[in-house]
Structure 1
Amino acid sequence: MNEDREFDDEAMPAADINMTPLIDVMLVLLVIFMVTLPVLHQSAKLALPRANSQREDVAAPHVDIVVDAQGRMSWNAQPVQDSGLSARLAAAARLSPQPEIRLSADRATPYGRIAKLLSAASAAGLARVGFVTEPDAPRRAE
Structure 2
Amino acid sequence: MDLKLEVVVLPVSDVDRAKAFYVRAGFRPDVDYAAGDDYRVVHLTPPGSQCSILFGTGVTTAVPGSTRGLHLVVQDIEAAHAELVDRGIEMGGIFHDAGGVFHRGTEEGRVDGAHPERASYSFFATFSDPDGNEWVVQEVTTRLPGR
Normalised TM-score (structure 1): 0.24
More helix by share: 1
Normalised TM-score (structure 2): 0.23
More strand by share: 2
* Bigger Rg over Cα: 1
